[in-house]
Structure 1
């Protein structure tokens, strides 16, 4: 399993976690929605969400079937952990999640920088 993680500094981490989870749930609706424009042309395009949920104000997951992104919110950070079975799938998750975070966090100037391997210590 390939992994990467990112720490996004924000005092509204729980809000962004909720928005990511809700967007993932909408993208799963009847299989009609996908991350638009966040995939690579050489690997089949944007990833399709199979399942997305927010289990609390601080935890959530977006599952793509062949990989997932685990979300955790603290008072000062949104922690993201991408996991996938193949390198190209990991890149697709990283690109899609980063693009969405940057879009919904544009007013706060949010950006995502992924680090490969290891785990996020909360």
Structure 2
């Protein structure tokens, strides 16, 4: 299962690095060249930064685990970007659609 969200910000690279560095202390996470990934035991995510937004693609094997990935990423981004008051409108992606 997959879901995607976009956060409009001019600090996308900074938040991408901050998320990956934070999680990378305990789990596999890496970033570079406006892309990053985080591997949880229950799912994973890919992050892509542009000049105008941070795109987050969350993936997991079932809805419960996907909700876990979404919840953790949302809460951490809200904490790191509190001055920008991020709102993530997660959209489910059908598995037969390319990402």
> TM-score by structure 2 length?
0.90
Higher-Rg structure is 1
5+ unaligned residues in a row in structure 2: which ranges?
A: none
Which whole-Å CA distance do the structure 2 matches of 1:19 and 1:103 have between them? 11
Which whole-Å CA distance do the structure 2 matches of 1:70 and 1:84 have between them? 12
> What is the Cα-based RMSD across aligned positions, in Å?
1.6
Runs (4 or more) in structure 1 with deviation over 6 Å come to: none
The C-alpha deviation readout for 1:16-42, integer Å capped at 9, x for no partner, is: 00000011112x1xxxxxxxxxxxxxx
- Correspondence 1:32-111 to 2 at 5 A: 50-54=27-31, 56-111=32-87
The verdict on how the C-alpha distance between 1:93 and 1:74 changes in structure 2, with shifts beyond 3 A counting, is same
Number of residue-to-residue matches in the alignment: 97
5+ unaligned residues in a row in structure 1: which ranges?
A: 29-49
Q: Greater share of strand residues, 1 or 2?
A: 2
> TM-score by structure 1 length?
0.74
